Structure formats: C-alpha cells, structure tokens
Structure 1
C-alpha cells in the first residue's frame, strides 16, 4: 500500500492550479461555516479547520482528488453541540473561554471514531445508505442552514436550533437596515454574477472582496455586527480541559454524531470525485484520513470537516488529480490566515449569512425533492420524513430511523417478489402443485415425476432466500401431509438466510413427523454448508432425488 494514496508528480502543474482554485472557493465558505457553527467570533476557527483537515485528509485519505474542509452538515452538527452544552449551563460566548475546549474535545473524539470506522473496514456499509435517506438528510441540512441565517441576514442576533432561532427572531423582530443592505448586496453578487466572471473568481469570494470594504465605507463600525478580532498567532494547541469529565456523555455522543455524519458526507463526495476523475477511491482509507484530519484539527481548535463536493469538483475541473492539490489548497489558506487574518475581522456577519443562504439552497436536493412523489410514494415518504426529522428533531436519529424504514420497505419488496415466484412454482392448490413444477422440468425429470403418480410433492425454491421467504415456506408446510414424499429443490438458490434455513428444517421435520420421506436436493457451496450446520442432509441433484423417491415408493 502506498504511503500517500494516488501520489505522483506527473501532474504537478494541474495540482497546484487545482489547489489554488479550491482555496479561493474555500476561504469565504470556511469563514461562513465557522461563524454559523460557533457564533460570533467563530469564523476564524472554520479557517483553522480548512487548513488542518484539508492538508491531513489529502495526505492520509483514500480519494486522491478530494478537497476536504468545513461543510454544511458538519457546521450544523457543531452548532448542535454548542446548543447542547449551553443547555446544561456552559456559557455560549467564545470570549468566556469555556465552551470552545469542550467543542474541540468532541471534534477530537469524532476524529478518533472515524479512524476506528476505517480500521474496522466500515466504509462500504456507510455508502449503502439509501438515496432517499441521503437526499432527505442533505435537504434538511440545507433548510437548517437557511433558517439559522435568517436572523443574521436581518441583523438580529439569534442562537440555538431551528425552533429556538425562529422563536428569538419573532420575539425580537427589529431588523437592522445596514445588515439588510449588506445581505442584499451579497445575495445579488452570489446569485447574479455572470458565469464568465464566476468561473475565474467564485461569487462568494467576489462578495467578500466587494461588500466588506463597501460596508466599512457606508456604515462604519458601529451599526453592523462583524466577525470580530482574530486570535493572534494563528493555529494554537487546545489542551484537554479539566472540566471535560463533567460533560463527557454529551461530548461522547457529539463526537459519534460528528464521526457518522462526517463519514457519510465524505464518502458521498468520494463517489462524486470518482465519477468526474474516472478513478476509484478507498473508503476505509478515506475514513482514516478524515479521522486523522479531524482529530488534529480539534487539537488546534479547528472546525471539523469532511469531503467538500463543490471544492472537489472545482479542483478536478481546474486540473487537480492527486493529494498534492488538497495539500496546496491548505497551504494557500495558511498563508492567507497568517498574512491577511487581521483584515478578516471587518467582515460583516450579514455578508457570511448571505453566502450561507446560497450554500443552503445549493445543498437542498431540488431535483429529487420535487419529483420523488411521482417516482414512488414510499420513497417520497421516507425522504420527507428524514427531512423533517433532520430539521426539527435530531440529525443522527433522522438518519438511523430513515435507514431502518427504507431497509424495511426494501425487504418487504424483495419478500413480495420471492413469494410471488414461490406461488408461481408451488401453488397452494395441491392438485396443481406438481403440474406447475412439471412444466419447467427437463423431459427425463418430467418422466420420473410422472412415474410418482402424484405421490411426490416437488417444492421448488429460486433466488436468494431471506427471512421474508420463510413465510411462504411455512405456509406450505401443511401440504406435505397430502403426499408420501417431499422433495425440496434448492438448485437455483445461491444464498440462504438463517430464518429461511430454519423454515426448510421445520418443513423436513414436519414431513418426517408425518411418516413422510423428505429430500433436500441441489444445494451447493455456502448453501450446502449452512444446511449441514443445521443437520439437514442434502442429496446431490433433483434427478437423484426423484429416483430416490421412486425407489422409496416402490419399496
């Protein structure tokens, strides 16, 4: 295994250009996500996260062209951590110095969980989350981002989650004209900038460069909330707080949520990167890389990150194809942090809110949201359910409940298909049972079955049999009494679940308890091994079983 996945120097020019372009896009987003996650004074921590996570995830990750950094889902999750800690009495203001070390402890724990996920090779399972759940979750994140930015957009200070933020907004509805003007200019730039310009200078950065000096010129320092003073010295270590133990259950849960959502976010972006770069990522290595990046980011007070779709796409389209591009992106941001960090203190929070409104609208899966009900009502119900649970209940529970319901619906659909096939081959009407089986047999086996004179029940099973198929097997158990010999044909069964195996065992036992002879025929490989573990004897082929049945009847 290569030390750095996908590393080579053959595309150095494209990687440098891709990383530079991605950094230009990442700068305003990192500041905006930091402010959204941690509140006033939090913007710079988003930039710290972009530097650390972006560099280490590229260095140790499994998706060569991916660019990582703070994202919408991760910033929303961190905002939830802040709200949870504030609810148990931790001062929310960063200036108090109490909440930041606790949040960063959760970030470190989240990174360690992600490393564990990678070591346990869970990457392939995380990517199996149904699209309806992913779509509902991401759309919910988009709605949360938009909702939480309405207050800052209007110059109204809001805190907490969606409901608390809306409640504060309505109870203290005193819009700030200067903030609205800044927000309006920002929205106009991010939505209306011609493509010919935005492909060279991303619209969020353009808004940052144009609106910030205009806000200083037009409104001065007094009438607008700005992101505030930047801590001196750049990146700094954040050692564990002695009070950590008092809040450990909250921090542990928060770390797990950050790990799971970061893993889903990153691996979905990895799939996008594979598609546009014609490569194949390593899911488990990507989780380890993201985990290392987030764990170290927490130590350096950086916001947690994940694979960022827009930055990754821009990187690839600008020529980036190896981890060098992601590392260049972080180095560029580090130079900006050191050289222009103090200038960032004048950025209005209303400007960042305007940028995040655009981000939130882009995150919402409009294409699927507006037509899901035409494709499948069940799928639409899952998606809308996950969306509402994400917005109004809990991020992780929304995903867990959504995955459970989506998988149950899938199992129901598979079971229905299995039972339909079982009914076609083995109808309940005992007089037509062997007629259905006979019609699909080779001529020599038909002749053998005809010689049995209706004394043999040929029960054919096809396809993978899950626990849902056990119902159809059990329902036909009583038919055994109408025959002298039972032949269970599983020649066309490639996989057999434990519950279906137990149902087959019960059917054989039912035949034996009624003094009937039973043969299980055609099992091979894993299916045969599983039946053997349950003590079910298997005869070689269906033809051999028919010959044995005739011998039994004649004997």
Structure 2
C-alpha cells in the first residue's frame, strides 16, 4: 500500500511540476523581456530560483520564479544603473543575503502584520504598472520604462500603431481570457496563445517586433559588481527586492496552505528564496518569488512535495538546452498580451468590490498606496501605507481612551466638593493619549488627595509612565498626595522599573485600600 501511495504521489508531483513548467515558460520569457535584461534572464531566474526554493524552501508545493512585482522593481533598478547588468546583479545578491538573514533571525511571521489595504493597493498598483508598460509593445512600439512615460507616449503610439502587432496582441488576449477552464487545465491558455499566435505570425509573414536570439545552453557566469557611485541605490533596491520578494513568497505560501490544508515554515521559506536569488545574481537570472498562479496550478495538477518544484525547474532547463531557438520568433505583442492578462489578474477585485461599503480609512490607505506604487516608488508606497495605517490605528486608540474626574461625595463629574478626587483612566494609556491626561490635572489642584484609578487600562507605555510621573511631581509640589491603583500586571511592571518618582508605596492593586489611605490623608 505504501509503495502504491508513493507511486501515486510521484505521478502527481511529476504532472504538477510539468504543468507548472508549461505555465511558467511564457511568463518567464515575458518577464525577462519586460525587465530589460532579455528573455533568457527570465528563464535563468525561473530555473535557478525554482530549483533552490523547491529544495531549501519551507513550502513543499510552492513554485517560485520571476513575478510581476519583482520584475517591475528589477526593471527600474536596471534603468537606474544605466543598463549595467553586473551592477544590477549586485542588488539581486544583496536581496538574497537579506532574505537569508531575515529567515535566520526568524522574522518570517511578520508578514501577517502588514495591513491588507497596503497589500491590496500595492498589488493593484503593480497590475496597473504591468498593463501600462505593455500597451506599447502590444501596439507594435518599443517598450517604455515607467508608467508615467507610457501614459505620455500613448497618443504618439496610437497614431503609429502597427496593426499586425495589434491583431496578434488582440488574438492573444482573446485566447487567454476566453479559453475554457476544461482546456486550460490540460494546456494552460498562455501556452496556447504563445504557440498558436506565434505560428500564425510566422505563417502570415507578419512584420512585427520579436524576442530575438536567446542564448542556447547554460548561462555564463556573472560576477556582481559593486560601484561606489551607485552603492546607496544598489543597497536600497536590494533591500526593496528582498522585502517585496519575501512578502510575495509568504503570501503565496499562505495561499498554498489554504488549498492543501498544510502549514509552511515561513523562516525556512525566506532562506530558500534567499539562496535562489543569490545564485540568480551569478547567472544573470531575473530575481523572483513564490508565484501564486503557478503554485495553485501545481497543487491542482497533483503536486504534493518538493519534487514538483524540482520537476518544474528541470523542465525549463531542458527547454533552455534544446529548444531556446524556437522562442526567437515569438512576437513581442504576444508576450504583451500574456502580461496584460497577468496584470488584470493581479488587481485586487476582492477589495474593489467593497469600495462602497468598506471603511473609509482602509480605502484611503489602499488609494494612497495604489497611487504611490504607480507614479512614485514601490518601497515608498509600502512604507507610506504601513505608516498611514499605524497612524489611523493610533488615532482610533486615542479616541478609545477616556478620563473621568469625580469626587468621593458625588459620583458626578460636576460635583467637586470632596477633599479626595478620583481620576479614572480607561482604555489604552500611551503616548497618543497622555496629553489628554495632562489637561485633566488642572481640575484637582484644589484638593488634598488624588487617586488615579487605572484598573481599566489594558496597557501603559513608557511615554505615558513618564507623563504620569511629571503629573505626580507637579501635584507633590502643590502639597497634594497621590495614589495609583492598577491591575497586578501593570503594578508589577511599574515596580520592576525601580523608578524613584513612582515609589512602590503609592502603587495599589486594591481600590478600597487606596481610597482609605486617601481619606486618612484628607482628614
């Protein structure tokens, strides 16, 4: 029975890997061309990263290779260093090293803390970038380097449209969008479009831009070059690639978990991705990450273990060694059509469908990240989105903090005749809410004793502790005795500080005991 089960599992892994490899082929070629490094770079990256991530990664069924977001970042990086591939590969090397370090210090689980609106805006922005950059080759013109340039050049491109390229691109879109799922399960629609439309172009003798020559055989060794003039740019872009690739891979791993019912190892996954991207830098391969579509295809086709990922990489290697010349005549318009489909699929329709009902704050974050991603910078977009989300959360926490001042004579905020006042603090007590406490202190300067009731405070940070100390010193100078009532956890926290301005004798766990002490003082 075990032998039968093993053969069945192996058959599924082989079929899943081959199917994923067939899906990966046109995408790798298209991403390589779109990056500016050439179609071969896409294949090199898919093979090297796909193999290493499968062997050393933490997700058994994940298929790794060039992805849309990583391609966009690499393309901008290659442009920033003047097209020098050796310098660009130094950033890829740094990205791999950073990913390995992230995995070793066990930060893989932090991806779960990135707010969904940030991810949504970023992915939708990447989708729009891919679509905008592919419009020019779709219409038979040369590729553009950035979305803003692509938009400005649109009128001129439309006026000089190559109708043969437009026909090929249009047919590609029809095939990738309209191919029935029962056929795509057997032969992926991108591969159908790649083969069918390329044969049509050759048969009709169309004069359109094509991929051109792809080196046959194994890639040449490249030594990444570090240049002092571009060191800062290389470092920033390398870290950007590492963060983006890590997020992309771990999100794909979560998808694989949900489909298979298994659980991946986030930190090991980062190490595997880092090893793969590091080795990509030495062969001129396009950096990449875990690819969601290829991973799901692998799982649905029967892939269950690492063998499927290895099979996917070996399949592409065999094609590179023997079938590379067949790809030289693939029209650029066909690859553009395939990538436009990729861009459309990346758009986050889940959140877009909820635009009318989703919280305004989340939509604001998503919109800001989207605009910054498309028109400014990818890493700035993610950073700004995270900071904006944090700011909005802090604002909500501040609103949840409440302060109530009352006397022992009447449990009312307007009855202040008592000689003992209680200042009740509820909700988060931190740097965002401490200024409101300072404003409340003016109402207790005409009394004998003040009890700070913090029993409803879930946590207190150092900023709030220092603000509380300043208030206690101010009241002490006014000859007013103070008592602080807290939960056991918070009292232990303050006692452990050993701060002389918060002596242990004024910290209480029992409210009634503190009140009794305050009444004695007030007599």
Would you call these one fold, judging by a TM-score over 0.5? yes
Give the Cα separation in 2 of the matches to 1:13 and 1:493. 58
**Which residue of 444, 455, 459 maps to 2:419?**
455
Equivalent in the alignment of 1:66: 62
Runs of 4+ in structure 1 off by over 6 angstroms are none
Task: Render the CA deviation track for 1:109-129: whole Å, top value 9, x for unaligned.
Answer: 111122222233333334322
Give the Cα separation in 2 of the matches to 1:527 and 1:176. 75
1:23 is the counterpart of 2:21: yes
Equivalent in the alignment of 1:239: 223
Give the Cα separation in 2 of the matches to 1:122 and 1:539. 38
Give the Cα separation in 2 of the matches to 1:531 and 1:489. 17
Task: Render the CA deviation track for 1:143-195: whole Å, top value 9, x for unaligned.
Answer: 11000000100111133211223334434541112211211111110011111
- Asked whether the 8 Å contact 1:234–1:338 carries over to 2, the reply is yes
1:214 is the counterpart of 2:200: yes
- Asked whether the 8 Å contact 2:407–2:422 carries over to 1, the reply is no
Shift of 1:246: 4.1
Shift of 1:389: 1.1
Shift of 1:279: 2.5
How do 1:377-456 residues align onto structure 2 when only pairs under 5 Å count? Answer: 377-418=360-401, 422-423=402-403, 426-427=404-405, 430=406, 435=411, 454-456=418-420
- Asked whether the 8 Å contact 1:434–1:457 carries over to 2, the reply is no
Distance of aligned partners of 1:484 and 1:317 in 2 relative to their CA distance in 1, 3 Å threshold = farther
Shift of 1:276: 1.9
- Asked whether the 8 Å contact 2:13–2:303 carries over to 1, the reply is yes
1:248 is the counterpart of 2:231: yes
Task: Render the CA deviation track for 1:456-497: whole Å, top value 9, x for unaligned.
Answer: 223333444332221232221222324322222333434211
**Which residue of 91, 101, 105 maps to 2:86?**
101
- Asked whether the 8 Å contact 2:216–2:320 carries over to 1, the reply is no
Distance of aligned partners of 1:347 and 1:199 in 2 relative to their CA distance in 1, 3 Å threshold = same
Number of residue pairs aligned between Structure 1 and Structure 2: 511
Shift of 1:543: 2.8
Give the Cα separation in 1 of the matches to 2:155 and 2:67. 28
Equivalent in the alignment of 1:201: 187
Shift of 1:335: 1.8
Match of 1:127, SS state, is: helix
**Which residue of 489, 497, 502 maps to 2:466?**
502
How do 1:211-290 residues align onto structure 2 when only pairs under 5 Å count? Answer: 211-219=197-205, 223-241=207-225, 244-290=227-273
Task: Render the CA deviation track for 1:23-70: whole Å, top value 9, x for unaligned.
Answer: 22111111111111116xx11211111111111122222222222111
Give the Cα separation in 2 of the matches to 1:118 and 1:9. 33
1:119 is the counterpart of 2:117: no
Task: Render the CA deviation track for 1:71-96: whole Å, top value 9, x for unaligned.
Answer: 1100111111122123xxxxx4xxxx
Match of 1:468, SS state, is: coil
Distance of aligned partners of 1:436 and 1:73 in 2 relative to their CA distance in 1, 3 Å threshold = farther
Give the Cα separation in 2 of the matches to 1:466 and 1:13. 58
Give the Cα separation in 2 of the matches to 1:168 and 1:370. 31
Give the Cα separation in 2 of the matches to 1:412 and 1:453. 34
1:368 is the counterpart of 2:366: no
Distance of aligned partners of 1:150 and 1:10 in 2 relative to their CA distance in 1, 3 Å threshold = same
Shift of 1:381: 2.0
Give the Cα separation in 2 of the matches to 1:525 and 1:141. 46
In the alignment, structure 1 segments of 5+ residues that lack a partner are 1-7, 87-91, 93-98, 438-451
Deviation larger for 100-109 or 521-530: 521-530
Shift of 1:292: 1.2
Equivalent in the alignment of 1:4: none
- Asked whether the 8 Å contact 1:182–1:215 carries over to 2, the reply is yes
Equivalent in the alignment of 2:46: 50
Equivalent in the alignment of 1:346: 329
Deviation larger for 458-467 or 48-57: 458-467
Equivalent in the alignment of 1:529: 493
Match of 2:286, SS state, is: coil
Give the Cα separation in 2 of the matches to 1:259 and 1:434. 61
Distance of aligned partners of 1:13 and 1:414 in 2 relative to their CA distance in 1, 3 Å threshold = farther
Deviation larger for 24-33 or 518-527: 518-527
Distance of aligned partners of 1:330 and 1:530 in 2 relative to their CA distance in 1, 3 Å threshold = farther
Give the Cα separation in 2 of the matches to 1:31 and 1:432. 77
Equivalent in the alignment of 2:3: none
In the alignment, structure 2 segments of 5+ residues that lack a partner are 1-5
- Asked whether the 8 Å contact 1:65–1:312 carries over to 2, the reply is yes
Give the Cα separation in 2 of the matches to 1:20 and 1:301. 24
Task: Render the CA deviation track for 1:302-343: whole Å, top value 9, x for unaligned.
Answer: 100111111122222223233332222212221222232221
